[in-house]
Amino acid sequence: MFKAILARFAPQRVDVPLWTATAGEEFAHLCEAERCDLVFAYAALEDSQSLEMLERALDDPSEAVALAAARAVATRGRSAAVERYLELHPGERTRRIAAMLELLA
């Protein structure tokens, strides 16, 4: 299932985020929208590997992707992990993500 989901997002893109690169070279160049969809796909899973990927996606350079990841992690019951991440990464970006996360809760 995990690989199958990965396979849906195989087209090559630019801007290599680290968290997609760890999933494989073919996922290293996804665009932001595709990374969002990838996050949403992970969010539907319940295994630890997908959760790990979602937590890595918090570092995505795209704020929207990071927001999607934060929302997915929180939805999975790992709000503490999100809060810890936000505490470890203070800044305007983190503030906006936290604000949006509150609205979407």
The nearer residue to other proteins, 24 or 40, going by C-beta atoms, is: 40
- Going from the C-alpha of 46 to that of each of 42, 75, 99, the distances in angstroms are 8, 11, 26
- In the complex, minimum distance from the CB of residue 64 to other proteins, in angstroms, rounded to a whole number: 4
The nearer residue to other proteins, 62 or 79, going by C-beta atoms, is: 62
The nearer residue to other proteins, 67 or 73, going by C-beta atoms, is: 67
- Alpha-carbon torsion angle 76, 77, 81, 84, nearest 10: 130
Asked if 6 and 23 count as a contact pair (C-beta separation under 8 A), the reply is yes
- In the complex, minimum distance from the CB of residue 33 to other proteins, in angstroms, rounded to a whole number: 6
- In the complex, minimum distance from the CB of residue 10 to other proteins, in angstroms, rounded to a whole number: 18
